[in-house]
Structure 1
Amino acid sequence: MHRIEDYALIGDEQTAALVGLDGSVDWLCLPRFDSGACFARLLGDEDNGYWRIAPKGAEGPCTRRSYRPDTLVLDTEWETAEGTVRVTDLMPQRDRAPDLVRVVECLSGRVTVRSTLRIRFDYGSIVPWVRKSGGHRVAVAGPDSVWLRSEPHVHTWGEDFSTYSEFTIEEGEKVAFVLTWHPSHEPRPPLIDPYKVLRASVRDWQKWSKRCHYDGPYRDVVVRSLITLKALTYRPTGGIVAAPTTSLPEELGGVRNWDYRYCWLRDSTLTLNVGLSLGYREEAEAWRDWLLRAVAGDPADLQIMYGLAGERRLPEFEVPWLSGFAQSAPVRIGNQAVEQLQLDVYGEVMDSLALARDAGLSTKPHMWAIQVALVDWLRSEWRQPDEGLWEVRGGRRQFVHSKVMVWVAADRAVRTLEKNPKLEGDLDGWRELRDEVHREVCDKGFDSERNTFTQSYGSRELDAALLLIPRVAFLPPDDPRVVGTIDAIREELDHGGFLRRYSTDETTVDGLPGGEGAFLVCSFWLADALHMTGRRKEARELFERLVRLANDVGLLAEEYDPVGDRLLGNFPQAFSHVGLVNTALALFGGDEAG
């Protein structure tokens, strides 16, 4: 059975594919991250679509694989009795015509290679009609059309509703395949030269990676995370998806399976910090502009997530024909959490826009007006209970982290006015709001007996999000209440040396059965908190253990199972990689605030 860490990512900043250790592309949505998958074996079986290229008779994993240095170009190699062959996978960038390029090269000997292509549109449910056209294979079903192109001498045939190719290559020879999508009602897009786009992709990725300003320890790990975040960016709008997958389970066989192919506001401040700190100002500005477009409108209608272009309706439904990864059902499309109230997003948006302004990003005429509307809405609504950062489905509560982020919203509004006195706003009123929220959180959200902040008012549960209290400057790192909270979370939410988000026992607030793994971004937050409170050796040791959880090509999922020693949750996860980069900056980049 495949493990989540068996996969590598390739993409073109419009969509992405997951390639397994066995050379099989088991997940690909076309033409966008949130489109229906044409390869959905990841969440089902071979009948749900995949594309494998490997030496004939090689059933198991490859001998080795790696990305070409500082790129998203993947090399997978097999050593066989007949010789050694390499498959290079990439998705070159071009507008509205995603291409999956697979180049096979014989490095030694003489090897027979087989390609098995099984296209199944709409998440593996629709078998297309496949025909020949000028030496190509064309698969069409409804709005979707894909073209398969290869070398003229490659023997290709159809059988069992699949397309097979077989060929023998000798040392130094290459064979390329190109799979191109386009709307079925439009003409086929211009053909690309697979060898030229391979060279161009390597060159462009390496040029982009050289812009990274970070030159501390673990630079290769930081750059790999940056490349992953770039690959999860929807280039036409600047939005960044939380992950390119849906329904990879937080517990094998469990029901905690969610669609993450959307853009969350919760990621905004940390993502902006990465871009602005490491020389990717253009990407940071594109993300800031996406944020402004998405949140424009009535502050009461602010959502926690949006579609790639800012779409607001992301209805959730289940697809019963997919059995789920490792039989973890249901498989969900869309995300019902879009309808939740999460007050923390107001603070995250205000913090992001304050950071962008302080960094000197170009201002937009309407930006301050939006900020004023958001903080003024909070003045009358901040006392509401909400579903909180973790999108619980067990009912609303007075979550402490949510209230802390309300304080952040007011604080950033006050700071912005103090730095920019020409702007208009109710400075006194916002100061009053900030002070009132602070008093209430310290009064109702703190357990003096245990010297720790709690998950919600009056509860005894803890929440790893409380580790952000010193980071957002709600209290200084040396405040005894901060130190007590860090120590309590570290002890009570420990899971194999890492952190859970919160307890998932019978008293859990999320309203779901079962448990989950250690949440990686929370563990990075712990490393940050330890560093800020002077425990730098412990912080670095934790960071090093977290880095070792990445798979063989440097990718992290959402969670980790310390018992089964495997990754869990959607993959690769933007939040985990953002956490890694920000922690590296805090520990090694001279940025003491993280």
Structure 2
Amino acid sequence: MNRFHPPRGGTPRPHALRDYALIADGERGALVGPRGDIPWLCAPRWDSEAVFAALVEGAGHYTVTPRGRFVRGGHYRDGSLVWCNRWTTERGIVECHDALALPGDPHRVVLLRRIMAVDASAEVLVHLEPCAGYGTEPARGIHRDGEGVWTGRSGALRWRWSGAEEAGPVRRGLRTTGLSAKIALAPGTSRDLVLEICDRPLGDPVVPSRAWEATENAWDEAVPDLASTLAPGDARHSRAVLRGLTGATGGTVAAATTSLPERAEEGRNYDYRYVWIRDQCYGRGGLR
């Protein structure tokens, strides 16, 4: 257990890869750090360019973290890739449940974050900075509608963010590059944040309660009980990982960081880990 402070200056510092949790829906995956930072997400698909690239010290991240000092912990919801960051703060316990909504749409990312003040009032700092093209294309056209829903663009991607109507602009120089908010929660209450990223028109907004219900039901259907195995908990988690890494076309990626170049400054988007036919055969056998 480590004691952390919220990141200063907006952009979170990278952790060792072992400190990140993976959330995935088959079509793409994101890494979630112990400070509630999401520093890596390729959108809209695994082989797309990153829209959050702070993992490699680029621009772009999405962070939900308690205000003040805290001790962190976390766990997956059993039989799923729904991640729960759990922070013990000076006031009490705060949780943030994170998931990529199921079923996954190849053209539309739906990132669900549910913040909960478990046993005391809580203040949570939220920072959203989409930056497509591995951090080279900052957000633009940021706008809030009459219902407090934010929209904008980054490169060819459109995005919409709901649940943070009190957010305000973040500027780098003269340019608005993102949004930040301080969210106060009373004991026992929660707040849903929904981020949608799409390479097509966004369509109707996502209803958080329905998206969470559909996602949890989809995981329950995808991961069997496996009680007859020697280690049911480990077997269920392995099954969940395979499900999260396997898209609708049947291809299974080997890592959430699939779209990183093979070497630094290589100048190309290539990674030999994307899909190996041999490993695919073993993986698909486990999903039957």
TM range (shorter): 0.7 to 0.9
Partner residue of 1:99?
A: 110
2:95 alignment partner, SS class: strand
- 2:40 is matched with 27
Give the whole-Å Cα distance in 2 for the aligned partners of 1:176 and 1:125.
29
Asked whether the equivalents of residues 78 and 237 of structure 2 are also in contact (C-alpha less than 8 Å), the reply is no
**1:106-505 aligned within 5 A:** 106-134=117-145, 135-150=148-163, 152=165, 155-160=166-171, 161-183=177-199, 186-210=200-224, 212=226, 215-235=228-248, 237-246=249-258, 259-260=271-272, 262-275=274-287, 280=288
**Partners of 2:159 and 2:262 in 1: CA distance:** 33
Q: Shift in Å at residue 228 of structure 1? A: 0.5
User: Is the Cα–Cα contact under 8 Å of residues 241 and 263 in structure 1 kept in the other structure?
Assistant: yes
Corresponding residue of 1:73: 82
Question: Which entry has the higher C-alpha Rg, 1 or 2?
Answer: 1
Once the 2 structures are TM-superposed, how far is the Cα of residue 261 of structure 1 from its aligned partner? 5.9
The SS at the match of 2:108 is coil
How far apart in 2 are the matches of 1:63 and 1:136? 30
Q: Which has the higher strand share?
A: 2
Aligned mates of 1:84, 1:35 — CA distance in 2 = 36
- The structure, 1 or 2, with the larger RCO (C-alpha pairs under 8 Å, 6+ apart) is 2
Identify which of 11, 25, 33 aligns with 1:12.
Answer: 25
Root mean square deviation, CA, Å: 2.5
Change (3 A) 1:201 1:260: farther
Aligned partners of 1:248, 1:262: CA distance in 2, in Å? 10
- Looking at structure 1, the residues matched to 203 and 87 of structure 2 have their Cα atoms a distance apart, in angstroms, of 33
Question: How many Å separate the matches in 1 of 2:256 and 2:98?
Answer: 17
Alignment TM-score, normalising by the size of structure 2: 0.83
Name stretches of at least 5 consecutive residues in structure 2 with no aligned partner.
1-13, 172-176
How far has the Cα of 1:248 moved from its partner? 7.2
> 1:92, 1:100 within 8 Å by CA — same for their partners in 2?
yes
SS of the equivalent of 1:240 reads coil
Question: Which residue identity lines up with residue 125 of structure 1 in the other structure?
Answer: T
Amino acid at match of 1:262: Y
Q: Secondary structure at the match of 1:172?
A: coil
**Structure 1 position 194, deviation (Å):** 1.4
User: What whole-Å deviation, never above 9, does each CA across 1:246-278 have from its counterpart, x for those lacking one?
Assistant: 477999x9x9x9725622212133224323xxx
Higher helix share: 1
Paired letter, 1:108: D
Q: 1:86 aligned to 2:100?
A: no
- In the alignment, the residues of structure 2 paired with residue 149 and residue 117 of structure 1 have an alpha-carbon distance, to the nearest angstrom, of 12
Provide the residue aligned with 2:8 in structure 1: none
Whole-Å Cα distance in 1 between the matches of residues 68 and 270 of structure 2? 36
Residues 81-110 of structure 1, C-alpha deviation per residue, up to 9 Å, x if partnerless? 122111010111243321011111110111
After TM superposition, the structure 1 stretch with the greater mean CA deviation from structure 2, 109-118 or 140-149, is: 140-149
Q: TM-score, normalised by structure 1?
A: 0.42
Task: Give the superposition deviation at 1:69.
Answer: 1.1
Structure 1 stretches lacking a partner, 5+ long: 281-594
Residue aligned with 2:39, SS:
strand
Contact 1:38 1:120 in 2 (8 A): yes
Tell me the CA shift for residue 35 of structure 1: 0.5
**C-alpha contact (below 8 Å) 1:18/1:25 kept by paired residues:** yes
Q: 1:12: how far off?
A: 1.7
**Closer/same/farther in 2, CA of residues 130 and 177 from structure 1, 3 Å limit:** farther
- d(CA) in 1 for partners of 2:203 and 2:272? 30
- The 3 A distance-change label for structure 1 pair 112 and 274 is same
